[in-house]
Amino acid sequence: MSGFAFLSTYPPTRCGLATFTQALATAMVGPHDPSARIVRAMDDDDAPATAALGTRSDIVGELLRNDPSSTRGAARTLSASDAVIIQHEYGIYGGADGEQVLSVLAALTAPSIVVLHTVLASPTPNQKRVLDEIGRLAGAVVVMTDTARRLLADHYDVDADKVSVIPHGVADWSSVPVARHPGRKNMLTWGLIGPGKGIEWGIRAMAELSRTEPSLHYVIAGQTHPKVVDRDGESYREGLHALIEELGLRDRVTLDGRYLDAPQLAAYVSAADIVLLPYDTREQVTSGVLAEAVAAGKDVIATTFPHSNELLADGVGTLVEHNDPASIARAVREILHGVRHDHPRAAEVDVSWPAVAQEYRLLASSIRVAKSA
């Protein structure tokens, strides 16, 4: 067996890592290529893919949390490939801070690339230990921003020669038709929602924009994160609905609670004039929503976190204060009134999934050569 193997959450699981891996695997080997081998990291409440979807040629194994035999089996399955690409977040593997992934890495016989979706500036001692050991065991480590690379250098013991920056891939929505309401502008926030997304601050900003011309409509698109539902039910979404009613914004704010497929999301993004990321986090080093919004040429407003500080530098977008609807409202007014009409766009770097996939292919080739030397 040859080709690429991937270890990550994966559809039907609904999370950012799952959709990232599906997009990357498809771009690297094609949507129906049997050389795409997925070992799906399972949450405790995930249904097996075989039960949920029937026979699937892409999912060749499932890694169960805290199951030594599953760990060994996953490593064997992944090793029957030319290179293994592993997505890393602290919460998706078993053990303290997801340390189960270390056992998989240690047992691999194929060269490995680990993609770090989170690099904390202030990790706990065990979080640091896990990431340091990942760096020791992996053939290569990928981060998606220069900020994340600097954090690794400043706070972790990971060989800098192993670290590559490959940007987050983005979908091509340029050919999607745009449906607009005459005389109205649209602001969009999308993704799985829950506490920490800061959506309440975007809603409160809308209350301060009641006399804005042209009129503005705010769409919050996406279902509640499944882990949030398991823990808290729909209390966060219900609170957002209550806030919309309290502020009298029912006609100006829409909560679309569907899990959007690619065409549905593309339609929303194409129709958006402004994309708002009002996140509470101050440590997010990678945001796929941010990367896609900038690549789509939208006016982006975001609170300050590592990825937004880097990607929206030099006036590419607008940075606002955390938990501050007045700051968001000011930024929206500037955009609607043309104050920032001529702000520069991001550098012309190809971040399409095919281009990003080629960077992974080249990296995989280099570590295969190094391993065989």
144 is a domain residue: yes
Q: Are residues 231 and 156 in the same domain?
A: no
Report which listed range, 47-51, 300-304, 340-344, is most confident.
300-304
Tally of structural domains, the chain: 2
pLDDT at 343 over 50: no
pLDDT at 127 over 70: yes
Tokens 């080629």 belong to 358
Q: Are residues 248 and 286 in the same domain?
A: yes
We report the CATH number of the domain holding residue 108 as 3.40.50.2000
The pLDDT, as a whole number, for residue 351 is: 87
Q: Are residues 273 and 163 in the same domain?
A: no
pLDDT at 54 over 50: no
Q: What is the pLDDT of residues 134-149, one digit of tens each?
A: 999 999 999 999 999 9
Q: Are residues 33 and 57 in the same domain?
A: yes
Backbone angles phi, psi at 197, to 5 degrees: -80, -15
Kindly state the percentage of the chain with pLDDT values over 90: 64
Q: Starting from the edge strand earliest in sequence, which strands make up the sheet with 318-320, in order?
A: 253-256, 215-221, 184-190, 274-277, 299-303, 318-320
219 is a domain residue: yes
The pLDDT, as a whole number, for residue 56 is: 58
Q: Pick the closest to residue 281 from 189, 160, 198, 366 (CA basis).
A: 198
The pLDDT, as a whole number, for residue 345 is: 52
101 is a domain residue: yes
Q: Are residues 161 and 212 in the same domain?
A: no
Q: Are residues 189 and 101 in the same domain?
A: no
177 is a domain residue: no
pLDDT at 357 over 90: yes
CA distances from 79 to 1, 165, 173, 321 (A): 9, 25, 36, 46
Q: Are residues 251 and 314 in the same domain?
A: yes
Q: Are residues 332 and 302 in the same domain?
A: yes
Q: What is the pLDDT of residues 216-264, one digit of tens each?
A: 999 999 999 888 898 999 999 999 999 999 999 999 999 999 988 888 8
User: Quick one: 178 exposed, middle or buried, by C-beta within 10 A (0-12, 13-18, 19+)?
Assistant: exposed
- Quote the CA–CA distance of 303 and 277 in Å, as a whole number: 7
347 is a domain residue: no
Quote the tokens at residue 211.
Answer: 């006399």
**Domain ranges, residue 56:** 4-169+352-372
Q: What is the pLDDT of residues 170-200, one digit of tens each?
A: 887 665 656 666 678 999 999 999 999 999 9
Residues 6+ apart with CB under 8 A from 232: 195
343 is a domain residue: no
176 is a domain residue: no
- Quote the CA–CA distance of 334 and 344 in Å, as a whole number: 15
Query: Which residues in 106-126 are b (16+ Cβ under 10 Å) and which e?
Result: ebbebbbbbbbbbbeeebeee
pLDDT at 109 over 50: yes
The pLDDT, as a whole number, for residue 174 is: 63
Q: Are residues 214 and 161 in the same domain?
A: no
Q: Are residues 22 and 120 in the same domain?
A: yes
Q: What is the pLDDT of residues 31-42, one digit of tens each?
A: 556 557 899 998
Mean pLDDT value across residues 200-217: 89
Q: Are residues 304 and 361 in the same domain?
A: no
Q: Pick the closest to residue 193 from 42, 15, 370 (CA basis).
A: 15
Q: Are residues 61 and 126 in the same domain?
A: yes
The pLDDT, as a whole number, for residue 341 is: 46
Q: How confident is the model at residue 70 (pLDDT cuts 50, 70, 90)?
A: very high
Q: Give bridge partners of residue 220 from the DSSP assignment.
A: 189, 255
365 is a domain residue: yes
Residue 329 near residue 205, CB atoms below 8 Å: yes
Under DSSP, the state recorded for 314 is: G
pLDDT at 344 over 60: no
